[in-house]
């Protein structure tokens, strides 16, 4: 069971890093992106730190906002 939890934590961390890189490439702050996509700043922070993963509809909104594919956010080629 611990291996499964570790895999989920690692996946959330990698997704968070990808979200942070994509946001940095836009030059926007977490607050600006949160406002633009209709979420709270705390959500952006939690997602980028890998504490939580965004829901599917927010993942799509983020990918569209950053102009990247979902595969890019999940580090898949």
pTM for the structure as a whole: 0.90
With b for 16 or more beta-carbon neighbours within 10 A and e for fewer, the 1-19 pattern comes to eeeeeeeeeeebeebbebb
pLDDT tens, position by position, 22-31:
999 999 999 9
Residue-level length of the chain: 77
Reference 58, options 38, 74, 75; nearest CA is 38
CATH for 13? 1.10.260.40
Report pLDDT for 5: 73
The boundaries of the domain holding residue 45 are 2-73
Q: How many domains does the chain have?
A: 1
């Amino acid at each position: 069971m611990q291996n499964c939890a570790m895999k989920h934590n690692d996946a959330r961390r990698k997704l968070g890093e990808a979200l942070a890189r994509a946001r940095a490439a836009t030059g926007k702050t977490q607050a600006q992106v949160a406002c633009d996509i209709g979420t709270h700043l705390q959500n952006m922070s939690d997602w980028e730190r890998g504490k939580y993963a965004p829901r599917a509809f927010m993942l799509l909104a983020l990918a569209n906002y950053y102009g990247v594919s979902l595969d890019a956010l999940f580090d898949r080629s």
